[in-house]
Amino acid sequence: MKVLVTGATGQVGRALLASVPEQVSARGCTRAELDLRDPAAIAPFIAQERLDIIINAAAYTAVDKAEDEPAEARAINATAVAVLAEALSASGGRLVHLSTDFVFDGLSSRAYQPDDPRNPLSVYGQTKAGGEDALGRNALLVRTGWVYAAGGSNFVRTMLRLMREGDTVRVVADQIGAPTFARGLAKVVWALVGAGAQGTFHHSDAGVASWYDFAVAIQEEALVLGLLANPVTIVPVASADFPTRAVRPAFSLLDSSSTRAVLGEQATHWRVNLRHMLREEQALG
């Protein structure tokens, strides 16, 4: 099986390339090699590569910036996905696409199931929903959220920096979801590919948290590992007290039961995976 991973330098792309199954021949693709903002370049590239699968881990993910750059966000998150799906269909290949909890509005009273109605609140969410709509019949769509990895740009590393720089950190406490370790997400994606899964699936680590809960856990685990010298005060705040350019869903927990049923295994709790990530961060120095 010949697989190309777009977004190779991102958190998920790096995790995918670090966990390629033995029976798979996979390589990463960066923007320098294939710029998804240029639709005309996609089909010739795919025809030349003769791929069985593309795992599209590339995305415009600057959630707030997307409010001011909707055209660029749409080009990468929606238009490019449509061209990828069409080109792969023509060549007999298949698209595996990663999407986000931001396609939901956060008004649910239970975890979102894969077939629940979408109602994105932001340009980012709208463009990601547009990408989902462009997938072909045999595509695999995996939604996730709150992704983090050692060495990446993410909430965990931001919290570590802020906790080292000051004695107080304010963190939103009224947005609820579940953190997702990129390495665990990569394992699930490869497993779904190996199972020949098609359609829409969800994955996040087990458990539930607010960003405040996540920050508290980060500090506790980091102190144990010596990544932080001293504890700081973590203050829970409302989203209204921490305004952002884009509106976030207040509740974005994803129901992963169908994923668990296909794979025959339970998800690891987010706190366990947080420890794994912090140990990796410690090893990076």
Sequence-distant (≥ 6) Cβ neighbours of residue 214 within 8 angstroms: 146, 155, 156, 159, 171, 179, 270, 274
Residues linked to residue 87 through DSSP beta bridges, in sequence order: none
Please report, as a single letter, which amino acid is at residue 184: G
Residues 75/69, Cβ–Cβ less than 8 Å: no
Query: Catalytic pick from 60, 112, 124, 148?
Result: 124
Q: What angle do CA 154, 147, 56 make, to 5 degrees?
A: 115
Label residues 54-91 b or e (16+ Cβ within 10 Å = b): bbbbbbbbebeebbeeeeebbbbbbbbbbbbbbbbeeb
Residue 112 is among the residues annotated as catalytic for this protein:
no
Active site residues: 124
